Amino acid sequence: MPRASDNLWDIALAEVQKKENLESQDGDGAEVWERSVFFIGNKNGGKTTILLRCLDRDEIPKPTLALEYTFGRRAKGHNTPKDIAHFWELGGGTSLLDLVRIPITTENIRTFSVVMVLDLSRPNELWATMEKLLQVTRKHLDKLLSELGKTNSKLANEIKQKAWRILPKDHADRELIDPFPVPLVLIGSKYDIFQDFDSEKRKIICKTLRFVSHYYGASLMFTSKSEPHMVKTRALINHLAFGLDRSKSVSSDPNKPLFIPAGLDSLSHIGSPPVSDSDIGQLYARTPLELWKKIYDRSFPATNIGDLKEIKDPAKDAQFAENEVDAMRAQKDQELEQYKRNASKSWKGMEFDSHM
């Protein structure tokens, strides 16, 4: 409670100290004042739809142009301050990888989570999208942790150790996985289309995503726009955004939507890669992840995503229409075209010395 003698700087300092005290608490039951969730994944894969549904916003999803931000609040109880969740969404699939570094900073890395939305209806693009986004995001996270280690080695070590807590110390897979530095969720979207795939194709995709999510210490779930699926999706996002309890139920049947929280799967349950032993012997791979990639590519050869070519001029996008700005833009475009025509005539009329 501010005192009458406190000036503006005293009050601001008290607020900052209060925030730091809250963020310094640890453990599953820790109280965190603010959290951040970063949505990445396939272009047109359903990231915005999932985010809006999780925030209970009845809006028609619009294409994400580049990097968009919104937030949500949730009260812990009656007459208690509301927790704040910052939501970032990267548009363009893998075409805007440089923007990954903007929402993740040393100031929020401790309370940061990543949600990757993968379009199950486009299996030939799935691995390439997943690989590129995870590599760039992890590289930036590792860089931040290295920088943080120079100024606050204790906090940097705590973040690294926390990533390993998803598995018990005696878990048989501890030596075979490489946990993501921050909480990671893989969401397979458009399950309503995926469920009509050939059973063998579904099995390969399910086993592969189970391996990848387990390897990175991530949670995995499949979803669609149907309300029963969205209920579980909202619960998982709320766990990341507001620290609510997460479901510990597991569904690993490839004939049903997968739902496997981080740390509740194992390589023995996933089974061997979907290929014959003789074929495995012919494949050279330096890591288990590389082996699964090569096997997945056999069934679903990577296609050229072509994200860069698909990016449209935002000035021509109806959702960003501004009458006055658009009118001025049209005038400047006309002036530019006139300049080009005049310049063209000037160059054509010039006489060049053929002896030069």
Q: State residue 273's pLDDT score.
A: 86
- Determine how β-strand 219-222 pairs with β-strand 34-41: unpaired
Residue 149 lies in a domain: yes
pLDDT in tens, 114-123: 999 999 999 9
Contacts of residue 169, Cβ cutoff 8 Å, sequence gap at least 6: none
Residue 118 lies in a domain: yes
Residue 48 lies in a domain: yes
In which residue are the tokens 């139920």 written?
A: 249
State the SS3 of the chain.
Answer: CCCCCCCHHHHHHHHHHHHHHHHCCCCCCCCCCEEEEEEEECCCCCHHHHHHHHCCCCCCCCCCCCEEEEEEEEECCCCCCEEEEEEEEECCCCCCHHHHHCCCCCCCHHHEEEEEEEECCCHHHHHHHHHHHHHHHHHHHHHHHHHHHHHCHHHHHHHHHHHHCCCCCCCCCCCCCCCCCCCEEEEEECHHHHCCCCHHHHHHHHHHHHHHHHHCCCEEEECCCCHHHHHHHHHHHHHHHHCCCCCCCCECCCCCCCEECCCCCCHHHHCCCCCCHHHHHHCCCCCHHHHHHHHHHHHCCCCCCCHHHHCCCHHHCHHHCCHHHHHHHHHHHHHHHHHHHHHHHHHHHCCCCCCC
Q: Domain containing 75: what range?
A: 30-299
Residue 137 lies in a domain: yes
Please list the ranges in the chain whose pLDDT falls under 70: 1-32, 76-80, 276-281, 304-321, 333, 335-356
Q: State residue 345's pLDDT score.
A: 53
Residue 205 lies in a domain: yes
Number of separate domains in the chain: 1
Q: State residue 24's pLDDT score.
A: 43
Residue 215 lies in a domain: yes
pLDDT in tens, 30-78: 454 789 999 999 999 999 999 988 888 878 878 787 899 999 888 766 6
Q: State residue 328's pLDDT score.
A: 76
Q: State residue 163's pLDDT score.
A: 92
CATH number of the domain where residue 52 is located: 3.40.50.300
Q: State residue 190's pLDDT score.
A: 96
Q: State residue 342's pLDDT score.
A: 60
Residue 62 lies in a domain: yes
Residue 277 lies in a domain: yes
- The verdict on pTM exceeding 0.85 is no
